[in-house]
Amino acid sequence: MNDQSGKAQALDGRSELEKVMAELQRMRDLGEWDWTALDRLSPETRVAFEVMIIEALTTWPPTAQRQLRATLIMNGYDEQCARRVMSDNLPDSIRASSLYLILRPCGDTGPLSLPDDLI
């Protein structure tokens, strides 16, 4: 069995929650977002993932918070949250509103500017 196949099997053996925790770390560390992995989440795991994002954006060290915030904004997650704020699903609307306010404080919708050390 090749190395890639072994990694894929190891990933498949993890729970959804373990996968989203790993994805959150990857987003912070590499600045990448895997939409397909997140689209396949159960509704319950998606809620847990968004709560993890809120926690990360408010409790991680400042540099890690900035990197994660930049990744989310560059991949359009702030816009997705802005659209979801008007949802009929109250819990979803509240999470989306919280995330949007963290990602775009004071309604800042201008281009994202990153400190030189993150570019």
Tell me the pLDDT of the chain (119 aa) as tens digits: 444 444 444 445 578 888 888 888 888 888 777 778 778 888 888 888 889 999 999 999 999 898 888 888 888 888 888 888 887 888 888 888 888 888 887 655 555 555 454 44
By three-state DSSP, how is residue 103 classified? helix
* Neighbour count for residue 108 (Cβ, 10 Å): 11
Residue with tokens 């509240």: 94
pLDDT of residue 61: 92
68's tokens: 């994660």
Nearest 5°: the CA angle 38, 40, 35 is 35
